[in-house]
Homo-oligomer: A and B are copies of this chain.
Amino acid sequence: MAMTGVLRPGHAQIRVLGLDEGVKHYRDVLGLVETGRDRQGRVYLKAWDERDHNSVILREADEAGLDFFGFKVADKATLAKLDADLKAYGLATERMPAGELLETGERVRFELPSGHIIELYADKTDVGNGMPYVNPAPWTPAAESGIAPSRMDHCLLYGPDIEKVQDIFVNVLGFYLVEHVVLEDGVNDLAIWLSCSMKAHDIAFVRHPEPGKLHHVSFLLDSWEKVLRAADIMSMNKVAVDIGPTRHGVTRGTTIYAFDPSGNRFETFCGGYQAYPDWQPIKWTWDEVGTGIFYHDRKLNDRFLAVVS
């Protein structure tokens, strides 16, 4: 098989301070489709073009942040093998039973040295993207309802020990390093972008003293024009924009960072190149970190390194 093992980011469970305003943001402004609610009161959403039942789960809590981030793997055999590999590596894993998340099979859960909970799972119900699997149109009205990203794409997490995190993703989970920013010492990394696919990043990490923090969950748009439209819709809805529209040097993607009503940063982004595992990683030096993160401004804003949830 050419695509095996871990396939893609599948779900992110995000804590919001108020469920109603959270739903209003993710469904009505961001434009995700609500697909269910469970007994715990969690709200399930998906991007219009995703086929699996959910990719964002909102949980009401006293503190914003990310509960866990899950990856879909190729099949049950892969799930079993990766569970064994993680244990062999020395990580404790936990099995979450099928159905604990709506329409989602059994999940293998483990904690990264950075303090984040990662999950793997093989099954999530195909509910379709609103178009038939026979003679489909290229898009539906849902593609224009709110900002309407086509998928939940990746996340950027902040925490310590990112070398160990990289080792796990690369040597156990089969990811590869696409880009990295080197610290002032010229040796250690400030940030790493990792891929299990052709995406320039399926997950990324920034070194940070406090464990388990979320920088942003990212949502994919189809064009730079859709990025402009997203920024317009944010302003129409008084969403707090962090920065953008602009371009990242890293990945070349175009981007807006903004905050949900609970203070969780999210990104609507487009493009970037498509990567392959045989490519050598791209390095950004400390003096050019600003250019790497915000290509047009060529400097970080104050919030990039400081504000996480």
Please report A residues at the B interface, Cβ cutoff 8 Å: 1-8, 49, 51, 72, 74-75, 126, 133-139, 144, 150, 173-176, 195-199, 222-225, 228, 231-232, 234-236, 238, 241, 244-247, 249, 252, 254, 256, 271, 273-274, 276-285, 288, 291-292, 295-298
Q: Which of these, B173, B196, B232, B288, contacts A295 with CB under 8 Å?
A: B232
Least CB distance, A167 to chain B, in whole angstroms: 15
B2 contacts A174, C-beta separation under 8 Å:
yes
In the bound complex, do residue A296 and residue B231 qualify as a contact, i.e. CB atoms below 8 Å apart? yes
The answer to whether B235 touches A298 (Cβ under 8 A) is yes
What CA separation (Å) do A225 and B197 show in the bound complex? 26
Known: A5-B2, A7-B278, A74-B278. A247 touches B232 (CB 8 A): yes
B2, A4: Cβ atoms under 8 Å? Answer: yes
Measured CB to CB, the nearest residue on chain B to A150 is B273
- Chain B residues within 8 Å of A288, by CB: 135
Contact A1 B4 (CB under 8 A): yes
Q: Would B198 and A2 count as touching, CB distance under 8 A?
A: no
A276 contacts B7, C-beta separation under 8 Å: yes
Residue of B nearest to A1 (CB): B174
Task: Pick from A150, A271, A276 the residue with the most CB of B within 10 Å.
Answer: A276
Known: A1-B174, A138-B252, A231-B295. 20 other contacts (CB 8 A): A1-B5, A2-B6, A2-B195, A3-B176, A3-B198, A3-B277, A74-B277, A133-B283, A135-B288, A137-B232, A197-B197, A223-B225, A225-B225, A231-B296, A232-B247, A235-B291, A235-B296, A238-B298, A241-B297, A245-B296
